[in-house]
Amino acid sequence: MYGQFDLITLIALIVAVAAIIKLRSVLGQRTDEDEQRVERLKTREREAAQRPATETASADVISMPRRDREPVPAAPAAEVAGPSVEAKIRAYPVQDPAVTAGLLDIAKFDPALDPDTFIAGAGRAYEMIVSAFAEGNRRALKDLLSKEVYDGFTSAIADREARGETIEQQFVGIKKADIIEAEVKNGTAFVTVRFVSELISATHDKSGQVISGDAQRIKDVTDIWTFSRDISTAKARSNPNWRLVATQAPN
């Protein structure tokens, strides 16, 4: 019995030793592919060590590899055309249909006319003019006013300065702005806008005393201003700027 057991044990040991020798022979060898992998790893480590700090810092940004032949991207789909100028003008709310007719007449010469865009620009001009007049800033007024209106504004500023008066003013904002007239005369476009704005304004005399207005109260102010622009020729139309040509008090 013991001899049989020893024989079986001996055979098992021989098989185990043979398996270990075979396994070691396999694990201990490097194939050509293994050598190439190790070499590539060493190369990457050397390159990483030689990179500048800025490049290393951005190493988490991964650029996807490009194909040798990238497919040509498809042309973007054509943008959906927006409303026409005529549609924008007809959609603009007015109390008098003559305003719509006048805007359409202007659009025949100026196809880019957009009532909403015009009102936005007129509102910015209104704020600049009101603020520049209060400050006595003649230079700012000159580019925004016609000669006649400019002369009237600067004359009022000069009279105010001669009396030693100053205006303390804060422009709060425009509550409402509407186009109330529009027409073309002799190649010149005229658009009249009614502004309802909020101002804090007080006029001080030379001693600093308030003689009109209130520096602590917001006041609603209504102005009716007419802007014009020469649209008679292509050269004239290349200048997109409108100028204030008339002011009037509300009825």
User: If you average pLDDT over residues 166-178, what whole number do you get?
Assistant: 96
How many whole angstroms separate alpha carbon 2 and alpha carbon 131? 118
For the full predicted model, state whether its pTM sits above 0.85.
no
Enumerate helices (H) and strands (E) in the chain, giving the number of each: 9, 4
- Going by C-beta distance under 8 Å and a sequence separation of 6 or more, which residues neighbour residue 104? 86, 89
pLDDT on residue 6: 60
60-115: pLDDT as tens digits: 333 333 334 444 444 444 445 568 999 999 999 999 999 999 999 999 999 989 99
How many whole angstroms separate alpha carbon 238 and alpha carbon 251? 36
User: If you average pLDDT over residues 133-154, what whole number do you get?
Assistant: 96
Domains parsed from the chain with CATH numbers? 85-248 (3.10.450.240)
pLDDT on residue 54: 41
40-62: pLDDT as tens digits: 555 655 665 554 444 443 333 33
User: If you average pLDDT over residues 34-40, what whole number do you get?
Assistant: 56
How many whole angstroms separate alpha carbon 40 and alpha carbon 44? 6
pLDDT on residue 96: 96
What is the pLDDT confidence band of residue 250, given thresholds at 50, 70 and 90? confident
Q: In degrees rounded to 5, what are phi and psi of residue 33?
A: -65, -40
Tell which wins on pLDDT, 6 or 226: 226
pLDDT on residue 172: 96
* Three-state secondary structure call for residue 189: strand
195-248: pLDDT as tens digits: 999 999 999 999 999 999 999 999 999 999 999 999 999 999 999 999 999 999
pLDDT on residue 83: 80
